[in-house]
Structure 1
Amino acid sequence: MQKRILIVEDEASIRDMVAFALRKAGMEPVHAADARAAQHAIAEKVPDLILLDWMLPGTSGLELARRLRKEELTRDVPIIMLTARGEETDRVSGLEAGVDDYVVKPFSTRELLARIKAVLRRSHGDDGSGMVEIGGLRIDGPAHRVFAGDEPVTIGPTEYRLLYFFATHPERVYTRAQLLDHVWGGSVYVEERTVDVHIRRLRKTLEPHRLDGLVQTVRGAGYRFSASY
């Protein structure tokens, strides 16, 4: 089945260039020039992935990403940010807003397609099919749901994969590079700093349930998941 890709970009020339490349790669592009048009397109049919420009008229791409991550309909839809802002603080801001990856302008369509395929693989990969219970958490693999006791935990797709991996490999210390290999699939497009951002987001997700202590930093080594804290 064709992957439906929503392009949220106010520059028509960039939209057309990306759409042409997507069609050539066997994907279905959908256009939106701003946040309002994007939400209309999503309401018609939820895309498989969103390409989101940072600098949009009215509502910024960063603001829209935060909004999409809060809505149940789009919470699990992968987002790649298109941005002219290549500074580390800007990239981290995007990751913390919930985007899965970013591409700095100007970019080649070949690079963009590689990023899209890598993110789609990670998002639709097998995160485990079993039930896991540890440290007050219950993870329903087939349903991709997490519970703290009987209370459901709202969690993003990347944080879910990270949590599932940790919960099925407790008490062992993993470096950032090892986590990238196991959780992100060893993609060359993801920086090690990304791990730190998603660890913070995972802890923030678990904090209201007083379970953030399950994810532990081992100074100079990496991270460990342990029910002993």
Structure 2
Amino acid sequence: MKFTFLTVLLSLTLFASGCFKASTGDASNGAQAGAGNANTASQNKPVNAAPANAVVAKPAGDKCNNLKLSGKNFIAKQSFPIDFEPFPGGCFATFGSKEDMLDEKDVPRGSTFHIFKGGKSVLELPDAFDGQAACWVEAVSFKDLNGDGKTDIIMAGSCLAAKDSYPSNAVYVNNGSRFTTDAEANSKLNELKSAKAIEDYVSSHMKSFF
């Protein structure tokens, strides 16, 4: 009888010990798995994730939108914020003539160029097309062309002929207080079809423009 009792007691002790070890092993594995998941989540999180309440910066061109001049259509895609002298914090604004344009989706015929500050025109640049009618801007770029520390303006444009259009380009020289252009010098650019080509030509013929 004592033998039977001891056998049963020993069996129960071994069974309980096994259950305890199994339970402890599962808990350890669960903790390791949890740590692994946490590490994976940490690795997958974007390094530069913005806080939920972060303010998204507005495009730099926002202040140069929806500018107005009487009788003109504002050409947003050829208007840009500028941050160089003599008009830092201003806008280079392009307008097309309402009279010359078929509608607002037409090329900006009769293009004129202005500097705006505080929503108002403070300077109209000289005529880029030397009096030619039905002309418009194709591209504009800004660069110090002669290395004097002042940013100049390159304008690549086109004019309408009887059957087709032809290039008509200009360089506006920054003299520190305003922008000037030379029609005779500009006439040498009229076979060129991009702002980069104009820039390259001016670099090789500096005396004609400065």
Do these two structures clear the TM 0.5 threshold for a shared fold by scoring above it?
Answer: no
More strand by share: 2
With CA pairs under 8 Å and 6+ residues apart, which has the higher RCO, 1 or 2? 1
Q: Which TM-score applies when normalising by structure 2?
A: 0.26
Q: Which has the larger radius of gyration?
A: 2
